[in-house]
Each structure stands twice: as structure tokens, then as C-alpha cells.
Structure 1
Amino acid sequence: MSEATPRGRVLVVDDDRGVRTALSVNLTKHGLDVVLASNPAEARGLLADGAFDVVLTDVRMPGGTGLELLEHVKALDPDVAVVVMTGFGSVNDAVSALKAGAVDYIIKPIEKRELLVILDKALDNRALKAEVRRLRRQVDARDSFERLIGQTPVMQRLYREVEAVADTDATVLIEGPTGTGKELISHALHARSRRAEGPFVRVNCAAIPSTLIESELFGHERGAFTGAVRQHIGK
């Protein structure tokens, strides 16, 4: 019999081994995949190696604070929910965390039922945001085809090819005479891809000298070559 899929992945960060162990046992029993870290530095390494739905972190720890870790998490992925744990009498830390983007806080000693309610709420909100993004992509994808004119067999085959390619990481070259809708097709591909939440960047390569195309796309540092008088951020 296969094991149930964990409802979410939680990173617990606390310098107290007893707290980490107790949280791991309780959260695992609640159906969560739990990963432990004893300090912010260890947590940053784990965050770099894998994705998490929630980070549950103490505020005051040797070698760094939960608030610093919160800023790091939000820079990596703003959608990761951060819940802070703080000692009684340290409510100011909790307020600072909420202002910095934490979704909630809990005061130690931790009451199991209260924590589970907070984590369930955080996971539900994260799932809801993901569903909203999915529905928005569907709408954008539908609208992107509505801008294309043509119901001939050739166009129908083109639509099917766009659908097939959009969900892959394949590099796509779109060819055709001026005015045939190459940019519209590229919009349709982008709207259906896993990168739909990211920017759609247009670059007119014909207007850029071949010696500068790499710099224009990927950027350069000041002094990288003759004439590079300032840093340039790529596309």
C-alpha cells in the first residue's frame, strides 16, 4: 500500500533540538513533509537545494535571526509562507515579522492545535494562489488564440503544434514573412508555458550590431570591453 502524498513541505528552523524534534513528530503526524535546520545558515542552504511551501522559524537564534531569514525567503520566492515563532514578551518581533511579509506568528511554548490551524491556513492560501495563477494562465492562453485569425486546416494544425510545444523546454524558432503573425504565435506560446508568470521580452535583433547582441541580451559589467562605461542589465 503506497504512502499518502504529503500535503505540504515545511522547513522548521530552531536552534533548540527539543523544539525541532517535537515539531517534526507532530507535523509529520499531520501529514506534512518536514525538514529541520538548526540555524539560519543551514536553512539558507536547504532553501537553495529544494522548494518549500512553508518556513516555520524561530526569531532569535545564534548566527542570525528569523527576520533575516524571512527577508532571504521572500527574495527567493515571495509565495513561500513564513510563520515565525517567538517567546512570550517578544511580540514586537512578531509585529516586525508581519510587516516584513510573514503570514502569521505563534508564541512559545507552542500549542499544537493552534500551530496546526496556522499551518493549514497558510497551505490553503498558497494552494488558492496557485489555482488563481493556473486559471489566469488558462484565460490568457485562450485570449492569445483569440487574437489569431484563421480556421483553415493549416491554422488548426498550427494551433495544435503551439499546444504541444508550449509545455516543453524546447527552443522554438518561428519563421514567416512580415505580417504573418509570428509575434502573436510567440505570445500564444508564452501564455501556455510554465513561464507564463514571467515577463515576455521583445528584442529586435536586426537593430542590434552582432558585436553587441550578447551584451544586450545578457548584460555586462562596467569596463568589460571598450566603451562599457557603466553596468548594463540584460534582458
Structure 2
Amino acid sequence: MSTSSTGADRPVAVVTGASSGIGAATARRLATDGFRVVCAARRADRVEALAAELDGVAVTCDVTVPADVERLVQAAGDRVAVLVNNAGGALGLEPVAAADVEKWRRMYDTNVLGTLQVTKALLPALVADGEGVVVNVGSVAGLVAYEGGGGYTVAKHGVHVMTETLRLELVDQPVRITLVAPGMVHTEEFSLTRFDGDRERADKVYEGVPGPLVAEDVADAVAWVATRPAHVNVDLLVIKPRAQAAPHKVHRVPS
């Protein structure tokens, strides 16, 4: 895939959940790689500032709202080279027996149905590109279950299986379907959102961990997957910090 064009001729990359963390880092990386980035997120002020920084396009978009997704399609145009489905997130760490059904519903709506709606809506433009690639941002939680992660692991397993199914169904089309599955990533909001703004609980997730991933590490992986030659499909890329062997197995240095 060539990314040397400038101006209006730049290939288009769409990144959802672009207002912070992995999404913002990915948008910046793809812009550096020569893409015209359509930045989509719910928080208008943040996504507009990011798009202005990157000479890109801002779309205020909740991926669970069909009208918002339609506006995203209009902003992206007829040809899309890269779609990064990053919008998602985790809520709570309650065991299944004490599950908050509303939190599970919100996680499923955003991670699974949001990814479905955006992908379905943009597939014609990705196919029209001739070398398009869908990069779904999953998680190691979509590969391995862990206690307290029920709702999130269910949602991310859904993203993983949807990715595999889509690849089977589109094998005869000029579009690639990939999944990047990060492990522990220290961003400014992921754990804070999970614990309803409880900073102390959020900070404990990373306490004593020598070198968790940062958003730029995942953005680098996403960009690498997205810029392979058109005949190369990276089915699954798992990226974890050295200190993490599994979701429940993390090395921590005593304080």
C-alpha cells in the first residue's frame, strides 16, 4: 500500500475512539505514515483538536448510534484504505454472579455492535479501495478468560470471533481483516473508566509493573498491520509487555 500521496490524494484511514489513548495515538501514527485520518469519537472538543493537529477530519460519533455512523461514512468518502475499529472499553470487575447487566449491555453494544455497525457501513468503501484493511482492536481478554473480567471478556471474544467470521466471508474480496490484541496498556483513561473514575483503584492496576505497554506501542502495531503489502493478511497480532505472561499473570516489583 502506497502512503506517499499528499493533500486530497492521501489514502483515507478511519479511526474510531480517537479522542484519547490508543485511538489518538493510532490516528497520529497513521497521519505520520501519510494517511488522511478521519478521527471519530464521542467527545467533539477532543476529536476536533486532534483532527486539526493532523490536518485530518473530525466526526463526532457514537458508534452505537446509526445516524452517527452514517455521518462517519459520509465524511470518509467513497474509498477507505484503513479502518481501525478502536472504540470500546471495559466497565467494572464484578464476578459473573454479581454482574451489572447494564454494564455488560454497554460493553457489548460498544465493543461488538459498534464495531459491527461501522464495519458494515464502511465495507463498500474498503472494497472499492482495492487494498483496504480492517484492523479491529481486540484484547488478550478476547483470547483468555480471567476472574472478574466476565463482561469484558465476553465482548472481546465477540470481537475476535466476528473478525474471524468476516475474514472467511470476504476471502474472495480485495479487503483484509485483521485483529490486534493488546495486553496491559497504561493509558490515561482505560482503567479510570473501568472503575467509574476511582483513581486509586485505577492506579493499582499498574502498580509495580515494570514497563506496561503505552498507547504508542499499540499504535505502532496497528500501523504495521495496516501497511503490509496488499497480498499479506496479518490474522492476529498479540502484543503484551514483557512483564505480562497472561491477563492474570503479571510480574510486579515490590515497592
Give TM-score scaled by structure 1 length.
0.43
Give TM-score scaled by structure 2 length.
0.40
Higher RCO, 1 or 2 (CA under 8 Å, sep at least 6)? Answer: 2
